[in-house]
Structure 1
Amino acid sequence: MTQSEQDRPEIVVGLVATPPDHPARVAARLTAELTSGLAERVNADVRWIVREGWGEVAPRRDGGVEALLDDLAQRRADDQWDVAVCLTDLPLHADRVPLVAQTSARRRVAVVSLPALGLHQLRAARAAVPDLVSRLLTEASDQRLPPAGRASTEMTSRVPAVHRVVGEADAGERRYVASRLTGGLRLLIGMVRANRPGRALLGLSKLLVGAFGTAAFALTTDTIWQMGAALGGLRLAVIMLLGLTALVAWLIVAHDLWEKPSRETPTELARLFNLGTILTLTLATVLSYVALFVGTVLVAALLIDTSVLEQILQRPVHFTDYLTLAWITSSLATVGGAIGSGLENEETVRAAAYGYHPHPDGWRDEKSGQSHSGR
């Protein structure tokens, strides 16, 4: 380290992910570039040091954002960080409006709710965190930053999710909230994103294989051929929707994915968790159905000769007849797959529940400097 670098004031920023699941993945990518971002956006004459850490596997729900701020302030004091920012996947609200972030200059900490950022959470967090750090240091009148470096920027111009800022400027307690309508929609999209629907899709792999086997067997029966030709598009659509609904409901009931209100989980939060679970499972099952439908079309085209199908249907056959046949077969196989879903690995299916977080594996917490398998 050169003499000039030693003379530069040092500010330590703690970046905590709670739970260490999806937020930890965002924090890991953000930490790698946050030092340069702080130098560029806040002050280049400061030697920025970023420390990454875990929060609780099951973050406190009963106290909302204030409980997270208190826990984070204690962590900041214990680790002797100058300021700390928490990334969480908890959906937070302020006066029934989605809360994007909140700062507390008194505690020198800030919390960011990743679901409120919507679909592109890393990009939004990359824009928000330097501004939050700047705001905390500005309102704390940190003397290590020259006055020119304490000019805080407004997140409303950088982060699309932020609609307005509320709170007492003198008290240093600021809340960055979304709009009621578009913010609520963005929150739901962000919850599904944070819940990693791809993980739920992989967890349903055995179900998809079982449903495909059922569909392949059903294609060999001419009764299915006749049913497909006799049913109209509306009835086929209803059968498909009933099959998908049955699958989602069975997964929730069989694997106990429904979040019940409790002393730790308020009713509104439990409702949001359940909505996030339903949307995640719906997306995963729809993608599974599309894959099953495409596979069934290919098998039907290879397995059933046009002349044989014409003989059964007593009319000329077109490619749309194969699509119709695959449609009804996939829908019926999905119902069979719902029953077979009870054979899925419990851990992979439970990961689709928004309020459930598996114990982390391989994430490094700089508080102890060691890798952990979970808490």
Structure 2
Amino acid sequence: MPERVTRRLARDLPELLSDEDLSWAVEVDVDPVTAGRHNTRDILASTRERMDHHQWDLAICLTDLPVRANGRPVVAEADLDRDVAVVSLPALGGTQVYRRSKQVMLQMVDELTGREGGGENRYGLDSTLSRLLAPVQRQEHDGEHEADVRYTTTRRRGRLRLLSGMVRSNEPAQLVFGLRSALAAAVATSAFGLSSSTIWQIGDQLGAFRQVIAAVLSVALLVGWMILAHGLWEKRRDNSENDRDQVLLYNTSTVATLTIGIGVMYLGLFVINLVVALFLVPPNLLASSLGHPADFTRYLALAWGFTTMGVVAGALGSSLESDQAVRQAAYGYREEQRRREQEG
């Protein structure tokens, strides 16, 4: 996602930045420089190295790794002495990522160049909605470089936005395409259920409430199975409060990513099973098996039975996937690489 956002920004920023006195050129360098980095200092140092290598005037790094400082999610940070900045996409939230990243990028350019009064022009970062949901605060802080500027959000509301951004970076809707064995097992079991009149009768006898509960439990089973079977649960490495919060964020985003991804798989499989049932199972055959007339709601119950069975079988099928394949499917590129480097 950072690469897609950055390339789109590279097309739009020159026109937004250029004026009668100065024209801009924006180049994109895609490199996993932030993998394994845990704070903005390390990221900014790597960004400065890339800047020197390419002989740029300024450099801004967009990363999909979450960064926090003093318990607050960091949206962006600028090192004014070294002409570099970093923007953390997860801190922008899970929606309107491009619009928000453009606002922050323009803000960072202003900070690095002093144009438009530096930090005075907020480009919508101080809108009423932003202040209500997760206000972005500008801070000048002392450290190795006195002129550093950091933009953070609040602890609680900012953490919710950060979590949604982490899930968005993992792209949970794409999860199903990376779990071929689990999907194959789910489809095969659904096909078996289509030929079993016993499954038809079970689906017909259970009420809507039990059907919903069974569907939720089947998704939860597959999520739990994948986490345990492939070691997706991150453990604390020390007893610090910061480490505890960081691990909690990562594990929560993992559960949310898998739940959304498998939920999408469940809905997609349900629609397919419903269409197949309507096409292959005549109403009179279904009625004779159930012992009463078959309307459209009976076909819904039929598809539910196939799908729930299929997702449960998908838990077994996921065991055939390699740990690397599951992590590539469940995480964004930088997050998957970060975990690999930690274990290495």
TM-score (norm 2): 0.83
In the TM superposition, residue 346 of structure 1 has moved relative to its aligned partner by 5.2
Instruction: State how far apart, in whole Å, the 1-side matches of 2:299 and 2:150 are.
Output: 56
Residue of structure 1 in register with 2:293 after alignment: 316
In the TM superposition, residue 324 of structure 1 has moved relative to its aligned partner by 1.3
Q: What's the CA shift string for 1:141-173, capped at 9, x where partnerless?
A: xxxxxxxx5523546442346522122499422
Residue of structure 2 in register with 1:368 after alignment: none
Instruction: State how far apart, in whole Å, the 1-side matches of 2:217 and 2:121 are.
Output: 44
CA contact (8 A) 1:208 1:292 kept: no
CA contact (8 A) 1:109 1:136 kept: yes
Residue of structure 1 in register with 2:331 after alignment: 353
Instruction: State how far apart, in whole Å, the 1-side matches of 2:141 and 2:198 are.
Output: 71
Cα distance 1:133–1:45, how it changes in 2: closer, same or farther (>3 A)?
A: same
Matched, 1:76 2:56: no
Residue of structure 2 in register with 1:340 after alignment: 317
Letter of the 1:151 partner, please give it. Answer: G
In the TM superposition, residue 100 of structure 1 has moved relative to its aligned partner by 0.9
Larger Rg: 1
Q: What's the CA shift string for 1:44-63, capped at 9, x where partnerless?
A: 4124233322443552334x
In the TM superposition, residue 78 of structure 1 has moved relative to its aligned partner by 4.8
Q: 1:108 aligns with which of 70, 83, 86?
A: 83
TM-score (norm 1): 0.77
Q: 5+ residue gaps in structure 1? A: 1-21, 139-148, 359-375
Matched, 1:327 2:327: no
Q: 2:160 aligns with which of 166, 171, 185?
A: 185
Cα distance 1:349–1:102, how it changes in 2: closer, same or farther (>3 A)?
A: same
Q: 2:9 aligns with which of 15, 21, 30?
A: 30
Aligned length: 322
Matched, 1:151 2:131: no
In the TM superposition, residue 293 of structure 1 has moved relative to its aligned partner by 0.7
Residue of structure 1 in register with 2:223 after alignment: 248
In the TM superposition, residue 320 of structure 1 has moved relative to its aligned partner by 0.7
Q: What's the CA shift string for 1:114-149, capped at 9, x where partnerless?
A: 0111222222222221221121122xxxxxxxxxx5
Q: What's the CA shift string for 1:185-243, capped at 9, x where partnerless?
A: 22222112211224322113443343122112112222212211222222222211111
Letter of the 1:236 partner, please give it. Answer: Q
Structure with more strand by fraction: 1
Cα distance 1:26–1:357, how it changes in 2: closer, same or farther (>3 A)?
A: farther
Instruction: State how far apart, in whole Å, the 1-side matches of 2:121 and 2:259 are.
Output: 33
Q: 1:163 aligns with which of 133, 136, 146?
A: 136
CA contact (8 A) 2:221 2:312 kept: yes
Alignment RMSD, CA only? 2.7
Residue of structure 2 in register with 1:271 after alignment: 248
Q: 5+ residue gaps in structure 2? A: 339-344
Cα distance 1:151–1:38, how it changes in 2: closer, same or farther (>3 A)?
A: same
Letter of the 2:136 partner, please give it. Answer: H
Cα distance 1:102–1:261, how it changes in 2: closer, same or farther (>3 A)?
A: same
Letter of the 2:21 partner, please give it. Answer: D
CA contact (8 A) 1:116 1:186 kept: yes
Cα distance 1:137–1:74, how it changes in 2: closer, same or farther (>3 A)?
A: same
Residue of structure 2 in register with 1:14 after alignment: none
In the TM superposition, residue 334 of structure 1 has moved relative to its aligned partner by 0.8
CA contact (8 A) 1:226 1:313 kept: yes
Matched, 1:120 2:96: yes
CA contact (8 A) 2:34 2:65 kept: no
Cα distance 1:44–1:116, how it changes in 2: closer, same or farther (>3 A)?
A: farther
1:17-96 mapped onto 2 (5 Å cutoff): 22-39=1-18, 43-56=19-32, 59-62=35-38, 64-96=39-71
Q: Secondary structure at the match of 1:103?
A: strand
| More moved, 323-332 vs 198-207 | 198-207
Q: Secondary structure at the match of 2:209?
A: helix
Instruction: State how far apart, in whole Å, the 2-side matches of 1:270 and 1:155 are.
Output: 35
Letter of the 2:16 partner, please give it. Answer: G
Letter of the 1:277 partner, please give it. Answer: T
Structure with more helix by fraction: 2
Q: What's the CA shift string for 1:51-85, capped at 9, x where partnerless?
A: 322443552334x1222223323443454433221
In the TM superposition, residue 109 of structure 1 has moved relative to its aligned partner by 1.7
Instruction: State how far apart, in whole Å, the 2-side matches of 1:228 and 1:102 are.
Output: 55
Letter of the 1:356 partner, please give it. Answer: E
Q: Secondary structure at the match of 2:151?
A: strand
Identity across aligned pairs (percent)? 37
Instruction: State how far apart, in whole Å, the 1-side matches of 2:286 and 2:53 are.
Output: 74
CA contact (8 A) 1:100 1:162 kept: no
1:214-293 mapped onto 2 (5 Å cutoff): 214-262=189-237, 266-293=243-270
Q: What's the CA shift string for 1:321-356, capped at 9, x where partnerless?
A: 111121122112210111012334654422113520
